[in-house]
Amino acid sequence: CVFTEYATCPLPPAQNKLNIAIPAGEKMFKDEQTY
């Protein structure tokens, strides 16, 4: 596993990798409040 040698999660296969960047994430809009 990627996280620890004691976990049993499988490693992702090589075909899961993409040759392009995907700009993803949270966006903060101009009128949005922060908490």
pLDDT at position 2 is: 62
pLDDT at position 23 is: 84
Length of the chain: 35
Measured between alpha carbons, how far is 9 from 17 in angstroms, rounded to an integer? 18
The torsion angle over the Cα atoms of residues 28, 29, 32 and 35, rounded to 10 degrees, is 10
* pTM, full prediction: 0.32
1-35 pLDDT, tens digit each: 666 778 777 777 889 888 998 888 777 777 666 66
